Amino acid sequence: MISELANIVAAAVSAIAVIVTAVFAVRQLRSAQTANHTLVAIELLTRDRSSDEFMRAEDFVLNELAARFPPPGVSVSDLPPDARHQVTRLSMYYNGLGQMLAFAAVDPRLLMGTVSYRSRQAWRALEPYILAERARRGQTYLSHFEHLVHMSTHNPWTTAVRKLDLQRFDNYPAELGLRDGSPAALTSRQPTT
């Protein structure tokens, strides 16, 4: 009877050990996958975004596209090759980041803290062209880009700063007109009587 009890306890301990090992193995695998995806995101966020080609595409989309090819009714496919290349370069960059966000391949805070403002700017400039293209191709065209911008709009930089507990200086030079909310900064900007 004691040997049967010892066998049952040994079997239970062995089963628990197997379960714990399996849980840790799954967690380790997920951690490794997340690390790989994070490396890809960091590569996109640093190398691609600072490339000359990306900067030219962003400048064209934000400053020239609407003047040269006024919407509405102009789709991405309607643009001449050079303009289409610039639009595609920028939109596919943000669409790729949106895919990583949608598939939870990267921590959303990484993207919200780095591309929130610029992705919203690009979307504002490109939205009429994307919607015209969707009328041709279907609703999924650049849907991950839209998802990224939607998340950026609903998780603005100020929220990301608060969630990340980023540190800020107590005050800024008054001539910049920045307000940081600290009592010293607020009192230094009040007019004297």
- pLDDT of 35-44, one tens digit each? 666 676 677 6
For the cut 50, the answer to whether the pLDDT of residue 182 exceeds it is no
List C-alpha distances in Å: 66 to 35, 43, 80, 94, 180: 39, 30, 13, 19, 35
Res 115: pLDDT: 85
Helical spans, DSSP H, in 44-137: 52-63, 65-68, 81-102, 108-112, 116-137
Res 31: pLDDT: 67
Q: 66-79 in b/e burial notation, b at 16+ Cβ within 10 A? A: beeeeeeebbbeeb
- pLDDT of 5-43, one tens digit each? 778 888 888 888 888 888 877 777 776 666 666 676 677
Res 187: pLDDT: 44
- pLDDT of 67-122, one tens digit each? 999 988 899 999 999 999 999 999 999 999 999 889 888 878 777 777 888 999 99
* Cβ atoms of 132 and 72 closer than 8 Å: yes
**Alpha-carbon span 182 to 89, nearest angstrom:** 42
